[in-house]
Every structure is written in C-alpha cells, then in structure tokens.
Amino acid sequence: MIKDKEAFQRLSFLYQAAHCVLAQNPDNQELARFYCHTQNSISRRLVLRQDPSVKRTICKSCFSLLVPGVSSTVRQRKRRNQRRTVVRCLNCGLTKRFLSNPDYKLWSEQPEAWLENHTLASEGAKGQTPSPVQQPLKSSATEKATDLSAKPCGHPASEETAVGTKSREKGPSGK
C-alpha cells in the first residue's frame, strides 16, 4: 500500500493543473508557478520524493513549469564527446544540464531497483501462510482502491475503518 496516497494525488493534480493553465493561456505563467511552488512545498513538508521526470520540468529557482518554447529553451550541446541537453528558464535564467546518453537509465528504471523492492516484500511474507480470512480482505482492498477513483466524495479513511470492522466481526471462531 502506498503511504500518503492522498498527498501524491494532490501533487499530481497540481502538476496537471499547471500544465493545463499553460496550455490554455501561455501568458498566465504566474498561476502555473503558484501551482508548482505549492506542489514543491507540500512535497518538502511531507518529505515525499517526486519522480525525476517531474523534477526536471520545474525550475528550482523560480518554480516555473519548464515547457519548451513557452517558458524555457532547450538546446543540444556536445562537449568532451558527451551530448548534453541544456534547458534554460526564460523567467530567471537558470540552466539545467542533463546527459543525453541513450543507454543511461535512472536507478528507479533499472531492474535491480524493482527486484530489490520485490525481494524485500517477499521476505516479509516468508514463513507466513495467509489465512482464508486475510485473502478476501486483500481483494476487497484492491476493489476499494479502484472504486475510489469513481467516488470523488468518498473518504478513504472511513472506508478503511468499515473494511477493518467487517474483518474483525468475522474472526477465526466464525462469529
């Protein structure tokens, strides 16, 4: 289960809202900057790590959304036999440089990172045989996660407590 799922949804909403604002009216960069600044302050306050692709599209200095041709310029440079992508913010002038190596992968994209997370989860489950009571609870939790997107007014905490009370009522003694 993802910790702070609601916070990640809020961060995603703010990022998408900033993109929509710039797509509809490129002159309204202040509102997009406000959304990005709010997103950054929430992630810092709750100590949440953002995806590198999101962090690369936000200026660290002025928090404006770096959209090529609208709020930034993108250039390809070659220096010392290394290709680099240089992104320059048009609001504050900050430049970001990224390697353009097509074979390079971020750690989160490498299979070792996924394998490490998978083995940690499976090690925690070793030696434990899931009881029949626990299996329906897991399936109802996944159904609940898919139903939450359909119900914007539902609060997940109240539904989790309802699921937890149902599982407690049906204990191992079958009462």
Q: Where are the beta strands (DSSP E) in the chain?
A: 72-79, 82-89, 95-99
Q: Is 81 helix (H, G, I), strand (E, B) or coil?
A: coil
Tell me what the pLDDT averaged over the chain comes to. Answer: 75
pLDDT of amino acid 33: 96
Kindly state the DSSP code that residue 129 receives in the 8-state scheme: P
Q: How many whole angstroms separate alpha carbon 160 and alpha carbon 24?
A: 38
Six token digits for residue 104: 């390079």
Rounded-to-integer distance, Cα 49 and Cα 6, Å: 14
CA 107 to CA 90: how far, in whole Å?
A: 30
Residue 121: its pLDDT value, please?
Answer: 53
Residues 67-86 pLDDT 10s: 999 999 999 998 888 899 99
Task: Output the pLDDT for position 120.
Answer: 54
**pLDDT value at position 115?**
61
pLDDT one-digit tens code per residue, 111-168: 887 765 555 555 555 555 444 444 444 333 334 343 443 334 333 443 443 444 444 4
